[in-house]
Amino acid sequence: MSILTDVNTPGAAPSHREPPISEEAGALNSGHSQTATQVILPIEEIHKLLPHRYPFSLVDRIIEYVPGERAVGIKNVTFNEPHFQGHFPGRPIMPGVLIVEAMAQVGGVVLTQMADVQEGLFMFAGIDKVRFRRPVVPGDQLVMTVELLWVKKRRFGKMQGRAEVDGQLAAEGELMFSLVD
């Protein structure tokens, strides 16, 4: 059983809900209407949905989810991450490609929970209009909002991603996905 915490209601206590898809898939698609539902989905549940593992698991928590529309995830950036050893010595900066990958992983949560999606793995099919606005450094908390723009034949999709630190835009762009068998 998964634990979802509804934080729309002040003082709301964690609510326990049976996952509608399976014990393995997690409980994001809980049959709610398409209204904003803030949930807390911890790393253990994210790992049930996505294949990524250390050092490439780049989403620590999902804090908001609207089925079939969008998700908001966080990544706590720490100095212990292996890429900081060489990017750059004396001035650690999170590589832009990893910021884009983190946004894609938040998007993956949306895609894996869509109804009628075939078995397989969603992979990048393209990246457009990506811009980096500020460096992301150890100690930052990256807040990523990814919205589904469209899906074709339940095999291809396009999303708009936005990553912020302390309310400041760090990166944004369009991410295309394709389902591979």
Query: Could you list the active site residues?
Result: 87
Which residue blocks in the chain are alpha helix, DSSP H?
Answer: 43-49, 96-112
SS3 content of the chain, % helix, strand, coil (to 5): 15, 40, 45
Report the alpha-carbon distance of residue 50 to residue 54 in Å, rounded: 12
Report the alpha-carbon distance of residue 83 to residue 65 in Å, rounded: 29
Radius of gyration from C-alpha coordinates of the chain: 16
Report the alpha-carbon distance of residue 106 to residue 61 in Å, rounded: 9
Residue from 26, 95, 94, 101 nearest 58 by CA:
101
